[in-house]
Structure 1
């Protein structure tokens, strides 16, 4: 491509715009690459939690007689969160797409409803659960399963309150 055509080239996607920026600012290329590595690691960590929910839910599927729905909560929450994250990544590249925005909203509503239902199941069992005597089936739940479900529930509460707090305007 001749030089005159290169200056008139307008990148069409976000990736192309980033590549053009890196080419123009090659001095900062190391910092930009480092930022991409950190963002990729953060994205991998974000995807790791729902994958762990699915794995722990499946591996302890029959280990919580106090409420057999707690492992199911983890499995469905993990899959639903993965779907939501994948839709969010796709929506990032197709930002003006009504289809992906609608799908994102619907999956977010499902995740919120499932989160509320999981909260009910886990908090009802919290006061009575014991981890040491599996033959007391009416109050037993595997320690790893219950604590992981309880922990991810609180992480979800943190994200929910952070999201709501970040999107509220304070008027004085």
Structure 2
């Protein structure tokens, strides 16, 4: 089979994977917003956990919407503004994720019994936040290792082709190295 015949199938498969992943991400983020809002006062042991989920969900949804908008824009000021906002939101989310991890993991395992006075956290909100953070950490670790692996492969390919990662000073002034 020719590569030109396989390309549309591969493209369709890749688009399908991206759509499914987008749906999963949207479901997680909408659940975070919904659970955070519904259980805003149901975790007196660590009252910031519902707020963490609510804020993380809203800022992530805003970032996704901006990235969809940015894909429709042509290169220019609006595209640069959109990209800057996405970058700032993602930077905020990274810090918020680290902070939220501290809030979630610092009370592990919490008391789920609401009869315990102020020393409890509603089971559903806590377990969602716990697994949300755990899966997020795993995804970030896998993404980091994949990025390092592909960077390594790119460097190896460039080395075997005789390309240099950095230009020599001597070459840039017309002198061969």
Same fold at TM > 0.5:
yes
SS of 1:64's partner is coil
Q: Which runs of 5+ in 1 are unaligned?
A: 1-24
Q: 1:124: how far off?
A: 1.1
Q: Which runs of 5+ in 2 are unaligned?
A: 157-177
CA distance in structure 2 between the partners assigned to 1:47 and 1:145 by the alignment: 18
Of the three residues 32, 36, 57, the one matched with 1:78 is 57
CA distance in structure 2 between the partners assigned to 1:71 and 1:119 by the alignment: 12
Q: Does 1:58 align with 2:37?
A: yes
8 Å Cα contact 1:94/1:100 also seen in 2: no
**Residue 107 of structure 1 corresponds to which residue in structure 2?**
89
Q: 1:115: how far off?
A: 0.4
CA distance in structure 2 between the partners assigned to 1:165 and 1:54 by the alignment: 29
Range that drifts further, 147-156 or 41-50: 41-50
Residues paired across the two proteins, number:
146
CA distance in structure 1 between the partners assigned to 2:43 and 2:129 by the alignment: 11
Of the three residues 103, 106, 120, the one matched with 2:102 is 120
Q: 1:92: how far off?
A: 2.7
TM-score normalised by L of structure 2 = 0.70
**Residue 125 of structure 2 corresponds to which residue in structure 1?**
145
Q: 1:140: how far off?
A: 0.8
SS of 1:109's partner is helix
RMSD: 2.7
**Residue 116 of structure 2 corresponds to which residue in structure 1?**
136
Q: 1:32: how far off?
A: 6.2
Q: 1:38: how far off?
A: 5.1
The superposition leaves residues 123-146 of structure 1 with CA deviations (integer Å, 9 ceiling, x where unpaired) of 11114x111x21213431111100
